[in-house]
Amino acid sequence: MSIGTKLFLLLAWIASLFVIGITIFSWGFLLNRLEIPDKSSCNDETTEGASHACREHSRYNKAVIVVIDALRYDFTIYNTSLDNEISLPFQNKLPFIHKILKEKPQKSLLCKFIADPPTTTMQRLKGLTTGSLPTFVDAGSNFASAEIDEDNFIHQFHRFGKRITFMGDDTWESLFRGKFSRSYPFPSFNVKDLHTVDNGVLEHLIPEMAEKDWDVIIAHFLGVDHCGHRFGPYHSAMGEKLSQMDQVLRSVVEKLSDDTVLFVFGDHGMTRTGDHGGDSADEVAAALFVYSPSILHQESPNKEALCSVSQIDLVPTLSLLLGTPIPFSNLGSVIPELFSLPPADQDAPSSSKNSSHIKRWSQELQSLYNKVAALRTNADQVNTYLRAYSKISEEFPQAYFSQLQTILDSAEAGVKGALKDASVDEEAAMALLRNCENIYVDYLNRVKETCRSMWARFDMTLIILGLSITIGACFLTHVLLTHNHNFGNRSQLDTALGTLLKVTAVTIIVCVLMSIMMSAALPSLQLHSTVLILTIPAVGSLLNSIVWIVFLSTEMKASSFVKLWNYSSKTLVAVALTFLYSMCLTSNSFVVYESYVVSFFANSLQFVCVCSIGSVYALAKPTKEQARKKAKAEKSRDIGHFLTHPGTIFVLLAVAFHTCVRFSNVFFACREEQNQCQETDLLRPLGSFSDDSGSYRNYRYLLSVACLAVIPASLTFWLNKQGNLNGGSAPMLSVVYALPFATVSICLNWGLQALPQKMVDSLPPWQQVLMPRVAYSMLLFSFVSVLWNPLCIYLVPRDKHKKKIDYPGEGETVVPKLFNHLKNTWKRSPRQPNRIPEESQLDPDESAPPVVYGLGTVYSSVCLLVSASVALLLALLLGDGLSPAVITMLIQMLIFLELYAVIRKQQLAPLEAVPDLLHFGMQQVPWYAVAAWGFMSSQYFFSTGHQATISSIRFDSAFTGFHGDFPPYLYFIPGVLVTINTFASQIFFAVSLPLLLIWPFTRGKMFDRRKDDDRKGELGLHVSTRELRIAFFQVILAYMLFHATQLVGAMTSAAIHRRHLMVWKIFAPRFVFQGTSFLVILVVLLFSYLLIIRVDRAVSNWLQVLFQNS
């Protein structure tokens, strides 16, 4: 096994430790509540006088449920004082609702419909049908909907023979398989498609209502939600879509019969940018409109009072109105206003017991009793659920359960008292029933809030265990970094690594067997078998490896840990900023304004590094010729000499870096907590602007195209200058043809999206996705070409008669011998006939020199090609508005590399007298460079329009180049595309990480007086393949440790603030984003390592062929 393979296995093992730590911590922090499989039935009776008799509260035989996805509450409000010319696109577009509320107040009801976060469609549908509360971790399954096993009103309808007809969002089909009598599902993933689902629903809705073979119709419209994602609520298309929904409601109401109730509601709202998923006021405030041709309620309309209900309140309300049991796990409360009238079935079993004197009550008393009776049934169902849940879980405090039971008993006693006193004193009975109503409402609200807090309980054992494994993995990474400088005899390294891997493998196998036997032997541990199988091997191998490295290994043991005073000032500042960044994650204010702080950290660290180089003008000591030219320039006051002075260029580069950091702040997205923040229009898609903003759209499109064109143009210019574009290898063809073609395709796609919406929608579907798919194909060709043949070099053919020399193989002689050979053959070149070579006895037939193009940048050319390809992919997914951000990220990275190369050259200048030591120093990347790279990665997470909030996730990127109708086995595609969009900067800087090691070998010579003495370039990295692999292994470990430090900070912050008021709004999302980004970084780093190994092996093979044919 080669050393490269051993180091890769070591990296993979360390990465797996981090993965295990994150997973176990997540199990303890992001808990799923226990689901009870029990189902409610009509005969359940647990409280005397209260039961789930199906017809006790039934008032309707049929129901039409219209779900208008993302119907925000203010969309339904009609403002009579607004003129249509000055109203916003979403205002006054549903006048029919206003008309019904005004003309038929007792037949209609409009309420604010409050959603429980996360406000994603699939989680909302679960809550709307089961009446249960979602957990935070449920948001991650929005792309892969699993069938609901918990009791829900769809199951109850089907169980009691109600015929359900469904049409619309196909998510319902995956959640409720086999429950619909007729179903017309339509693909829902393509957020750019505003009409397919809605038109399909319109085609079937009214005809189905005209049929007689249905009891419940469910119609789920998606146009409003998709319009929000694509254009935002302030686009004219939103007004058109809402107007269409208004016409739908008119048509539906005309077809309703007296025994039918209509529910129209949104599953969530949307932000000002059209997104959803979080818990902001605009996201949770949906609308609920209820109507029936018969009298709906007896409440007198109060224009000042705002009706506000929770979304899970729909479940018991709809169930009782249609005469089915309330789902077993429901925690919602009935909407009392809808139960003020007596049930349609006056002979219901439950009501017949007291019907003789109830009929003699006044209408007001009867109305109050009907509401209390519905609340009574609702509270009884919730009490039954709590009793069942407390038997399978110890989460619910028994003392508090007894307290709730006492409250319920007091309400029950009040109802019985009211029934006795009503025949004598109606006023006393009225007072008792009002008190009972308040008690029931208070009971249901208390249970709801208790369960919210109960299901936010955390498993501290798993939290501490996961955090400990992550910290242990960080310590192991630090130990390997510390000991990497003290491997001693490098020839023994293979043995040391082999022994370490064997020790680790044996430990893992033993621990896995031990955990399996413990789980089998101890029944109490069987529920935690997965945790044991992950934890015991991770902890065992971690401790065993650290002990072996630090205390037992003679090859890898260091005499002592590196002392702080051995570090440079730049490194100390970088370490301080790294730990400060991690610790500040415990502050909610820091997390809210993290985008600005991380930019300041990146700028500050670079400023310290630049200042540490000293007087840049004093560094470049002129030769006699340079001194003469300088004196002449001073006499003539030549400004050009000043501008081209290395010191001036260095200062200008530092200023340019600062400018890039400041300019990147323009692209920050706003959090809800940033009250004074205002987002740039560049974060809005080009197609979201109205048609009257044509000049802005044109200028912005030209800016985006110009920024994107810089990427392939600059790459072509640079590689051509370095000689890497000679010949016809696959990577060279990808640079010359594939990347420009991909750029043109991306620009054409942006232009297509900028066209008027109706024009785009009128195009055939294949034309709408053609350009992105062409870009994907070209970029895929670029990646494959690099993996197939990663060398951008070209050997000019020589004469057939050549003198063969032996390839020296790996070691210190390969590069000197190669360059001496090239030097000697160059001296024999016919272009220099007057020069006499030292080896005059050589055969004159071999005077033609081997000419090799691109050998000095053999490594960086491949890295730049991959980085440019990734940048184009990110630009495609981020959208046209963020094209300037992508090019700014590229420029800032290259400026940093140039500054770092200069600083590193000057730092190692004293070692020029010892070439071996200088070469070793060049292969060591200091911590300040790694930290700066990490800070830039975090900086551009925010500068690409992202925040650590669910609502900032750009789900529309999941459908770039796709229609959205993915089969189940391709559901990973939208998830991958959204992940690439969200963690664009982390992916880019991780894949470009090898440049930190490579760049100083060819760049940073502006102050170097020996520019022409070292012509090896990057081929110097190939002096020893062992050293190259170790060097890059060390860079990856350092970069991994930087981000792991932030991960530990996020995990610690989430654990400490688990009871904080803002935990689910700030700290939990921050941990989720940090953990996910770290996993993405691990994958990309492993790919980068394999890429460098692939390039180095290709260089070895090429050199071997060259020596054999020379």
By three-state DSSP, how is residue 486 classified?
A: coil
By three-state DSSP, how is residue 651 classified?
A: helix
Taking residues 659-682, report their average pLDDT: 88
Using the predicted structure, report yes or no on whether residue 1028 has a pLDDT greater than 60: yes
Amino acid 563: pLDDT: 47
Amino acid 183: pLDDT: 92
Taking residues 315-319, report their average pLDDT: 93
> What tokens were used for 556?
């890898």
- Report the chain's mean pLDDT, rounded to a whole number: 81
Q: How far apart are CA 302 and CA 618, in angstroms?
A: 81
DSSP character at residue 850? P
Amino acid 892: pLDDT: 95
Cβ proximity of 557 and 485 under 8 Å: no
> What tokens were used for 1031?
């060097």
Amino acid 2: pLDDT: 79
Using the predicted structure, report yes or no on whether residue 707 has a pLDDT greater than 90: yes
Beta-carbon contacts of residue 527 (< 8 Å; ≥ 6 apart):
none
Taking residues 849-872, report their average pLDDT: 86
Taking residues 583-611, report their average pLDDT: 91
Question: For the chain, how many residues are written?
Answer: 1110
Higher pLDDT, residue 1076 or 533: 1076
Using the predicted structure, report yes or no on whether residue 871 has a pLDDT greater than 80: yes
Residue 518's pLDDT band, with cuts at 50, 70 and 90, is: confident
Residue 571 is which amino acid?
T
By three-state DSSP, how is residue 749 classified?
A: helix
> What tokens were used for 692?
């009257």
Taking residues 1003-1024, report their average pLDDT: 65
Taking residues 914-938, report their average pLDDT: 86
Cβ proximity of 170 and 187 under 8 Å: yes
Taking residues 1099-1106, report their average pLDDT: 81
Higher pLDDT, residue 834 or 589: 589
Percent of the chain with pLDDT over 70: 81
Helices of type H across 485-587: 493-521, 529-547, 569-584
Amino acid 842: pLDDT: 41
Higher pLDDT, residue 530 or 1101: 1101
Amino acid 774: pLDDT: 95
Using the predicted structure, report yes or no on whether residue 145 has a pLDDT greater than 80: no
Q: H/E element holding 264?
A: strand 260-265
By three-state DSSP, how is residue 1038 classified?
A: helix
Q: Which phi and psi angles does 61 have, rounded to 5°? A: -95, -25
Residue 413's pLDDT band, with cuts at 50, 70 and 90, is: confident
Taking residues 14-38, report their average pLDDT: 84
∠ CA 878-881-885 to the nearest 5 degrees?
75
Q: Which of 341-355, 555-569, 1049-1063 has the lowest mean pLDDT?
A: 555-569
- Token pair 């590229």 in the structure block, residue: 890
Residue 146's pLDDT band, with cuts at 50, 70 and 90, is: low
Report the candidate in 232, 239, 226 with the shortest Cα–Cα distance to residue 193.
226
Cis upstream peptide for 118 (omega within 30°): yes
Cβ proximity of 73 and 365 under 8 Å: no
Higher pLDDT, residue 658 or 816: 658
Amino acid 597: pLDDT: 93
Q: Where are the beta strands (DSSP E) in 866-956?
A: none
Using CA atoms, how far residue 194 sits from 174, 690, 760, in Å, is: 22, 16, 11
By three-state DSSP, how is residue 851 classified?
A: strand
- Token pair 């008119």 in the structure block, residue: 250
Amino acid 83: pLDDT: 77
Taking residues 701-707, report their average pLDDT: 93
Residue 956 is which amino acid?
D
Taking residues 620-644, report their average pLDDT: 59
Report the candidate in 776, 795, 775, 788 with the shortest Cα–Cα distance to residue 731.
788
Using the predicted structure, report yes or no on whether residue 615 has a pLDDT greater than 50: no
Beta-carbon contacts of residue 1097 (< 8 Å; ≥ 6 apart):
none
Q: How far apart are CA 214 and CA 158, in angstroms?
A: 12
Q: How many CB atoms lie within 10 A of CB 311?
A: 23
> What tokens were used for 971?
């559901």
Q: What radius of gyration do the chain's Cα atoms show?
A: 35
- Token pair 């002979």 in the structure block, residue: 347
Using the predicted structure, report yes or no on whether residue 235 has a pLDDT greater than 50: yes
Query: What residues are paired with 263 via a beta bridge?
Result: 65, 290
Q: How far apart are CA 1073 and CA 1082, in angstroms?
A: 14
> What tokens were used for 39?
């189902």
Q: Give the highest mean pLDDT range of 694-703, 720-729, 924-933, 1061-1070.
A: 924-933
Taking residues 538-563, report their average pLDDT: 64
Taking residues 756-765, report their average pLDDT: 79
Q: How far apart are CA 218 and CA 166, in angstroms?
A: 5
- Token pair 């069987």 in the structure block, residue: 526
Q: Which phi and psi angles does 796 have, rounded to 5°? A: -70, 130
Q: How many CB atoms lie within 10 A of CB 256?
A: 17
Higher pLDDT, residue 170 or 470: 470
Taking residues 479-489, report their average pLDDT: 64
> What tokens were used for 242?
């809402």
Using CA atoms, how far residue 421 sits from 360, 428, 439, 564, 843, in Å, is: 13, 7, 19, 84, 126
Amino acid 601: pLDDT: 94
Amino acid 598: pLDDT: 94
Query: What pTM does this model have?
Result: 0.82
Report the candidate in 369, 454, 370 with the shortest Cα–Cα distance to residue 404.
454
CA 460, chain centre distance (Å): 26
Taking residues 155-170, report their average pLDDT: 91
∠ CA 935-937-938 to the nearest 5 degrees?
65
Taking residues 902-920, report their average pLDDT: 77
Percent of the chain with pLDDT over 90: 34
> What tokens were used for 968?
């189940």
Amino acid 823: pLDDT: 52
Using CA atoms, how far residue 676 sits from 2, 589, 892, in Å, is: 57, 14, 28
DSSP codes, 202-251 = HHHHHHHHHSSS-SEEEEEE-HHHHHHHHT-TTSHHHHHHHHHHHHHHHH
Using the predicted structure, report yes or no on whether residue 71 has a pLDDT greater than 70: yes
Beta-carbon contacts of residue 546 (< 8 Å; ≥ 6 apart):
472, 475, 476, 479
State pLDDT tens for residues 781-815.
999 999 998 888 877 766 544 444 454 555 545 55
Q: Which of 1-10, 249-258, 629-638 has the lowest mean pLDDT?
A: 629-638
Report the candidate in 116, 152, 172, 154 with the shortest Cα–Cα distance to residue 35.
152
Using the predicted structure, report yes or no on whether residue 710 has a pLDDT greater than 90: yes
Report the candidate in 995, 1004, 1002 with the shortest Cα–Cα distance to residue 936.
995
Q: How far apart are CA 50 and CA 44, in angstroms?
A: 9
Angle between helices 984-991 and 883-907 (to 10 degrees): 40
Q: Count Cα neighbours of 109 within 13 Å in the Cβ-side half-sphere.
A: 27
Cβ proximity of 872 and 775 under 8 Å: yes
Cβ proximity of 35 and 151 under 8 Å: no
State pLDDT tens for residues 942-1000.
999 999 988 788 888 888 888 766 777 777 888 899 999 999 999 999 999 999 999 88
